């Protein structure tokens, strides 16, 4: 996968997360001080930051672990509150080109 394809894949992941993410605080998403949340993601789950982007509500970040395949999407407000937006398993850094067509 070329650098451009990786950039497009990461951009699509952010776009999807941004569309799916409503106001995390209003929906009761788990939130906490940024330092504590990041420590938990890195220390307990072995995740590292893979990508980040600006969102109207703050900074959107994707954390993932190559070792375990776990991943987490967070948003951090200007006040320093970090909320978990989504999490899952089976992360891959090179998902390939998006699949399109009538059967998708």
pLDDT digits (tens, 9 = 90+) for 11-61: 445 444 444 444 544 456 799 999 999 999 999 999 999 999 998 989 999
Number of domains composing the chain:
1
101 inside domain = no
Among positive and negative, which fits the CA dihedral 28, 51, 97, 15? positive
Bridge partners for 84 per DSSP: 74
What is the model's pTM?
0.66
Reduced to 3 states (helix: H, G, I; strand: E, B; else coil), residue 44 is: helix
Mean residue pLDDT of the chain comes to 79
User: What is the span of the domain harbouring residue 51?
Assistant: 3-88
- Is it the case that residue 8 has pLDDT exceeding 50? no
Considering only residues 99 and 35, tell me which one the structure prediction assigns the higher pLDDT: 35
Measure the CA–CA gap between 94 and 78, rounded to whole angstroms: 31
pLDDT at 18: 44
Reduced to 3 states (helix: H, G, I; strand: E, B; else coil), residue 25 is: coil
93 inside domain = no
95 inside domain = no
94 inside domain = no
């Amino acid at each position: 996968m070329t650098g451009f394809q990786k950039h497009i894949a990461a951009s699509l992941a952010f776009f999807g997360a941004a569309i799916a993410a409503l106001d995390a605080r209003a929906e009761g998403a788990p939130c906490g001080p940024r330092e504590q949340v990041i420590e938990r993601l890195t220390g307990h789950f072995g995740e590292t930051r893979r990508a980040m982007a600006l969102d109207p509500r703050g900074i959107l970040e994707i954390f993932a672990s190559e070792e375990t395949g776990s991943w987490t999407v967070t948003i951090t407000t200007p006040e320093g509150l970090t909320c978990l937006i989504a999490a899952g398993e089976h992360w891959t850094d090179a998902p390939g080109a998006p699949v399109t067509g009538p059967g998708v």
